Amino acid sequence: MIYTITVKVPERMFTKAQKVAESKHISVEQLLTEQFYASVESYWEERSKEVTQADFDAVLQRIPKGEPEEFDRL
């Protein structure tokens, strides 16, 4: 699924983005998409460093034992 968003940026910033996009031979939309992806990826990478094995094990312990409900089976 692909979502469309509208972003308001100052003209000066857009002009700079155009120049960068042109130098990379891509569209401004592609440039912004790549930068957005990199930013989100970096955020989750940093967050994952905060989780320990003990945290993960604690979450697993909360999963009910036994067979899953019919609607939850693969």
Sign of CA dihedral 32, 35, 37, 43: negative
Residue 8 covered by a domain: no
CA atoms of 56 and 51, how far apart (whole Å): 7
pLDDT of residue 21: 97
The residue segments making up the domain with residue 46 are 34-63
For the chain, the domain total comes to 1
pLDDT, one tens digit per residue, over 43-57 is: 999 998 889 999 999
Residue pLDDT, tens place only, 1-25: 989 999 999 999 999 999 999 999 9
Please give the distance of CA 26 from its chain centroid, rounded to a whole number: 21
pLDDT-based confidence at 68, cuts 50/70/90?
A: confident
Within-domain flag for 55? yes
Q: Does any domain span residue 69?
A: no
The answer to whether residue 6 sits within a structural domain is: no
pLDDT of residue 28: 96
Q: Is the pTM of this model over 0.85?
A: no
For the chain, how big is the Rg over CA atoms in Å? 21
